[in-house]
Chains A and B, each alone.
Chain A
Amino acid sequence: MNRLRTWFLAPARTLNFVFFLVPLAIILAYSLMSRGIYGGVEMPWTFESYQRLFDPLYGGILMRSFAISLLSTVLCLVLGYPLALFIARSGARRNLYLNLVMLPFWTSFLVRTYAWMFLLRDTGLINTVLLAMGVIREPLPLLYNDGAVVLGLVYGYLPFMVLPLYTTLERLDKSLFEAAADLGARPFVAFVQVMLPLSMPGIRAGSILVFISCIGAYLTPDLLGGSKTIMIGNVVQNQFTGARDWPFGAACSLVLMALVMILLKLFLRKGEDQLL
Chain B
Amino acid sequence: MKSSRWLSAYAVGVYAFLHVPLLVLAAFSFNASKFTVWQGFSLEWYRLAFANDVLVESAWNSLWIALASTAIATTAGTLCAYGLWKRKAPILAGSLYLSLVTPEIVTGVSLLALYQWIFRFLRLQLGMHTVILAHVAFCLAYVVITVIARLRTFDASLEEAAMDLGATEWQAFRLVTLPAILPGVIAAALLAFTVSIDDYVITSLVAGVDSETLPMVVYQMARRGVSPVVNAISTLLVLFLGILIVASERLQQRT
Contacting pair A187 B145 (CB below 8 A): no
Bound together, the chains give a CA A17 to CA B133 distance in angstroms of 12
CB distance from B132 to the nearest CB of A (A): 11
Task: Confirm or deny: A215 has a beta carbon within 8 angstroms of a beta carbon on chain B.
Answer: yes
Per the 8 Å Cβ criterion, residues 203-241 of B in contact with A are 205, 215, 218-219, 222-223, 225-226, 230-231, 234, 237-238, 241
CB distance from B189 to the nearest CB of A (A): 14
Contacting pair A27 B110 (CB below 8 A): yes
Bound together, the chains give a CA A218 to CA B219 distance in angstroms of 12
Bound together, the chains give a CA A219 to CA B103 distance in angstroms of 12
Chain B interface residue count, CB cutoff 8 Å, equals 89
* B contacts with A: majority SS: helix
Contacting pair A1 B83 (CB below 8 A): no
Q: Tell which of A46-54, A56-64, A99-107, A199-207 binds the partner.
A: A99-107
B67-80 contact mask (Cβ, 8 Å, vs A): 1 or 0: 00000100111011
Contacting pair A26 B231 (CB below 8 A): no
B contact residues around A155 at 8 Å (CB): 17-18, 21
Bound together, the chains give a CA A223 to CA B89 distance in angstroms of 40
Q: Pick from B80, B107, B136, B200: contact of A9, CB below 8 A.
A: B80
Contacting pair B113 A27 (CB below 8 A): yes
Contacting pair B110 A237 (CB below 8 A): no
Q: Pick from A20, A212, A223: contact of B137, CB below 8 A.
A: A20
B contact residues around A140 at 8 Å (CB): none
Contacting pair A15 B103 (CB below 8 A): no
Per the 8 Å Cβ criterion, residues 226-276 of A in contact with B are 233, 236-237, 240-241, 246, 249-250, 253, 256-257, 260-261, 264, 273, 275-276
Contacting pair A16 B24 (CB below 8 A): no
Task: Confirm or deny: B92 has a beta carbon within 8 angstroms of a beta carbon on chain A.
Answer: yes
Q: Which residues of B contact A (CB under 8 A)?
A: 3-4, 7-8, 10-11, 14-15, 17-19, 21-22, 24-25, 28, 35-37, 72, 75-77, 79-80, 82-84, 86-87, 89, 92-93, 95-114, 117, 133-134, 136-137, 140, 144-145, 148, 169-170, 191, 194, 197-198, 200-201, 205, 215, 218-219, 222-223, 225-226, 230-231, 234, 237-238, 241-242, 245-246, 249, 253
Known: A121-B225, A216-B106. 9 other contacts (CB 8 A): A15-B136, A20-B99, A20-B137, A30-B113, A107-B198, A115-B234, A118-B28, A123-B35, A236-B109
Q: List 27 A-B contacts (CB under 8 A).
A: A9-B79, A12-B92, A12-B96, A79-B17, A82-B11, A83-B10, A83-B14, A86-B8, A104-B22, A107-B198, A107-B245, A108-B197, A110-B215, A111-B238, A121-B226, A123-B35, A125-B28, A128-B36, A215-B103, A233-B105, A236-B105, A236-B106, A253-B106, A257-B106, A273-B97, A276-B93, A276-B148
